[in-house]
Amino acid sequence: MVHVEESRQLPRDFEGFGEEGFNPQWPNGAQIAISFVLNYEEGGERNVLDGDPYSEPYLWEKGASGSYKEGRHINGEQDFEYGSRSASWRILRLFAEFGWNFTTYAVAYALKRNPSFAKALVRDGHEIACHGLRWLDIWDYSLEQDKAYIGENIRVLHEVTGEMPVGAYFGRGTPNTRALFPEVWKQAGGEFLWSSECYNDDVPYWIDLPWEAELPAAEREGMLLIPYNYDCNDGKFHMSPGFGSSVAETYEQYLKNTFDCLYREGGKMMNIPLHTRIIGKPGRSEALRKFMQYVASKPGVWVTTRRDIAKHMRAKFPYKPDGAWQQASS
């Protein structure tokens, strides 16, 4: 049963920044910030060899037709292996071609099983962020189990990469997980800069933490949220409604449409969620490359990591309680 810790719940907000909006004032007058995110999950998914009752049925090449099968499903296992063995390096080559960096939502045990890729990510300047200890739902965890799971995720990624992660997106947590990040990071001796456990805007923003309400304003830290999305997610090749079977041109056009809208509006950020085993297939990686060429041809585009978006926000709009941070530009 799901445990909801009332003291850890964050309020909903249906108004946001209203008609006037919020302009993050991107560096060098950039019109838009683009965050490519690589979800690295291969080796952290459900598998009988890791004590699970069946192989992972979700988000692999056969999609819904792959279905659930009791015990080991070798076909599904090997589609995940393609992501780590082959596609991971294709994606690194692609981003090296453009000189761009992405944020890796890294499942800790997955990256531990491919240490050469982990080292290459750090070598090339890509950000490593927490995406769970394994690629599993933990929705029924107790508060203490939740904290321990987050803490072990941080520890393993630090051990494997040599870098302490500064941000997180689990996507499969409990109703309490997102509120526990700042606390657990402190216990781990790290600095927590951002969370992406939200999908409700096109710009980063600070939130007040309810349990800090009684503290003096100078002692309140808040939490920076960098919204994520599903609509540009390459996982929709295997979801319904999706990008039209395996037809990569539909995906490419949707990314271009999204970019054009946000670029015209200005002061927005665009998320491009990727999965190694999905976008790393040759036909889809070519569509991504064409989109990257399109973006590279435009002036005023800041392609960056979520870590650097967080650093920009902290420098330009440092947290102040009760929304006062919006007027705190330096």
DSSP letter for 169, please.
Answer: -
Q: Residue 2: its pLDDT value, please?
A: 81
CA angle 107, 111, 116 (to 5 degrees): 165
Q: How far is CA 40 from the centre of its chain?
A: 10
Most confident of 39-53, 60-74, 280-294: 280-294
Q: Once rounded to an integer, what is the mean pLDDT over residues 124-143? A: 95
Question: Which amino acid is located at 225 in the chain?
Answer: L
Write out pLDDT tens, residues 6-21: 888 898 999 999 999 9
pLDDT at 329 over 80: no
**pTM of this structure:** 0.94
Cα-based distances in Å from 182 to 7, 134, 191, 227, 229: 15, 20, 8, 17, 22
Write out pLDDT tens, residues 226-276: 999 999 999 988 876 666 555 677 899 999 999 999 999 999 999 999 999
State the Cα–Cα distance between residues 272 and 102, nearest whole angstrom: 10
Q: Residue 247: its pLDDT value, please?
A: 60
Q: Residue 196: its pLDDT value, please?
A: 98
Q: Residue 3: its pLDDT value, please?
A: 80
Write out pLDDT tens, residues 177-215: 999 999 999 999 999 999 999 999 999 999 999 889 899
Provide the terminal-to-terminal Cα distance of the chain, rounded to the nearest Å. Answer: 47
Write out pLDDT tens, residues 22-44: 999 999 999 999 999 999 999 99
Nearest to 312 by CA among 263, 255, 267: 267
pLDDT at 330 over 50: no
Q: For the chain, what are the domain ranges?
A: 24-322
Write out pLDDT tens, residues 81-127: 999 999 999 999 999 999 999 999 999 999 999 999 999 999 999 99
Is the CATH number 3.40.640.10 carried by domain 24-322? no
Confidence of residue 58 (pLDDT cuts 50, 70, 90): confident
More confident residue, 287 or 239: 287
CA angle 40, 46, 51 (to 5 degrees): 130
